[in-house]
Amino acid sequence: MYNISKPFFINGEETIAGRVEARHAQADSEIVFFREGKDRWSPIYGAPTFYMEDCRVVRIGSEIIVEGVEAYPRPSAKYPENIEFQTVFYRGLDLSSLKKFAVGPELMKDIIITPLSNGHIGVFTRHLGAENGRGKIGFIELLNLKEINPKNLLKARIIQNQFIPDEWGGANDAHAFKNWVYVLGHIAYEDNQNAKHYYAMTFLYYINSHKASEIKIIATRKNFLSGEAKTPEHEDIVFPSGLTWHRNNTATLYVGLSDAESHSAELSSKKIGIANKPISYIFKNVAKS
């Protein structure tokens, strides 16, 4: 299991969603829900499973929204092993009532939604191709969940000057306040030996001006114990999935490592701060939101 969601509560019980697959498989990942036990997380009997990758769970009002990437084979004469993908969205009052209600554009991962203080829905996107290279982050504000569709999401405005041409990135978690959003994401590149390098990063996005603070890298693979990797090319991967804040000026970061394991790390206010704005600054502003 890897690339877990951050914990969320269903009927008062702490729950996570995790990506499960055979080590060298492609396009057959499942999302399985787990409940915390005395010394381990165990699959929830009777809970649904979804054939998708890299799940995120967010609460919108009384509902939970499950977001993930659905990969599927699309072979051609030139590319017989070609895999394509799109983000899918489920909603429900609990795990048993989850129903698919929306999909994103084809070939777009890392679409995440967050409730805004004005009652609207903020959506971070990741656009590919042409001037966007292997992925740049965009943002669009929608009135409600019904407006999530490929046509609208392709209208998201790109956040400029975040990545150099050889880099790409995406948003993985978001916490919205009055006029700005605290974003957890990843920044990545591929070296000359085709090895991928992913790092956990954060930035502040200012909704009214459509500008962002500088990116701050908060975790690399070296910050965690050594472990398994899906392939040698995946060894240097930290894929952040969520961040929870605590009132003692610390936060817990949840990550997938090397496309093979899941870990969490406790971060101090100094580590999690962005552009000299520590976590205490964020808590101070929660009351103003």
pLDDT of residue 77: 63
Reduced to 3 states (helix: H, G, I; strand: E, B; else coil), residue 90 is strand
pLDDT of residue 287: 35
The distance of Cα 49 from the centroid of its chain, to the nearest Å, equals 19
Q: For residue 159, what is the DSSP state?
A: P
pLDDT of residue 76: 65
Beta-strand pair 112-115/99-106? unpaired
Domains of the chain by residue range:
8-286
8-286, what's its fold?
Answer: Tachylectin-2; Chain A (2.115.10)
Reduced to 3 states (helix: H, G, I; strand: E, B; else coil), residue 192 is coil
Tell me how long the chain is.
289
pLDDT of residue 190: 94
Q: Which H or E element spans position 269? A: helix 269-272
7-48 pLDDT tens trace: 999 888 899 998 887 766 665 788 999 998 777 888 899 999
Longest dimension (CA), the chain: 58
Strand order in the sheet with 121-127: 112-115, 121-127, 136-142, 157-158
Quick check: 70 and 49 in contact, CB under 8 A? no
Phi, psi angle pair for 257, to nearest 5°: -120, 125
pLDDT of residue 272: 64
pLDDT of residue 267: 84
Residue ranges, the chain, pLDDT below 70: 23-27, 73-81, 269-289
- Of the candidates 68, 185, 92, 107, the residue with the CA atom closest to the CA atom of residue 145: 92
Quick check: 37 and 14 in contact, CB under 8 A? no
